[in-house]
Amino acid sequence: MNSDPDISASPPSNQSTFSELSTTSKITKTALGVVLLLGWFLLFIFGMSLDSSDFRKCIFLNDAIDPGYLLLFAVTFTPTNSAMLASLAGVLGGITSNLAASNEFHHSPTKRPAPNSEDFERYVYMTESPLVSMLRGFIAYLIFIAGSYLTNFTITTDPKNAADIVGLSASSYFKFAVSVSLLAYIAGYDPSRLKGLINSINFGKKETAPPTDRTVVTHQKTESVEVAKSSAPVASNGQSA
């Protein structure tokens, strides 16, 4: 009788498993994703078409803060508008990953990756709360906005007044908002994919190209000629013996 344990037996209690979402959770997350996607487009349109300086002048009209104009200024001012877009993109990435993982578990209900495997790490990211994905998307925005100063996405009119930020042109805003939203979406969907993308880019020193066969043969021919020349005996009168 074979004493080997059955491979298809239930996993030990210390091994984590993933399960498919319920129908109610799928419908709820799908509806929430549609609403957030519409909100993303609305914020994007505000950032593209409205000038935040028009609303900034109306915030302190009567020596008091007007909440309505303050909100309009926040959703049209490029830094805060982009932060909201990145946060929404992170949530959308998290919701999409939840639904994608649930669909995968539906077709492979008995799949249980090892805790130390890459698949296990990927499933952990894809089944986490969308709130965590939103925070990760916002962190991705902070990283992107910090690097944007190195590439002149945003500049200041007066170096002594860092708060006076010049608004981006429509084309620059389009590229900036789309880039930061894409980065936030990937970070919210599955950060391991972003890690793989970064690792695929070689930032290190270029490796020295190995010598080709032609180079080796030429080097060998040169050495053989030098040996042939040096091996010939020379007479005292300068002629070969």
Terminal C-alpha separation, the chain: 89
Q: Which residues, 6+ apart, have CB-to-CB distance to 123 below 8 Å?
A: 18, 101, 113
Q: Which residues pair with 165 in a beta bridge?
A: 156
Q: CA 113, CA 110: separation in Å to the nearest integer?
A: 10
What are the structural domain ranges in the chain?
23-199
C-alpha span between 37 and 84 (Å, rounded): 12
For residue 149, give the nearest of 162, 161, 139 by alpha carbon.
162
In the structure encoding, which two tokens stand for residue 204, read together?
């290190």
And the tokens for 191?
Answer: 């950060």
Question: Residue type for 119, please?
Answer: D
Q: What is the pLDDT along the chain (241 residues), one digit of tens a residue?
A: 444 443 333 444 444 566 778 888 889 999 999 999 999 999 999 999 888 888 888 888 877 888 888 999 999 998 899 999 999 999 999 999 889 888 877 666 666 666 776 667 777 778 888 899 999 999 999 988 787 676 655 544 444 444 445 557 788 889 889 999 999 999 998 877 766 666 665 544 445 555 555 544 444 444 444 444 444 554 544 444 4
Contact 105, 19 (CB under 8 A): yes
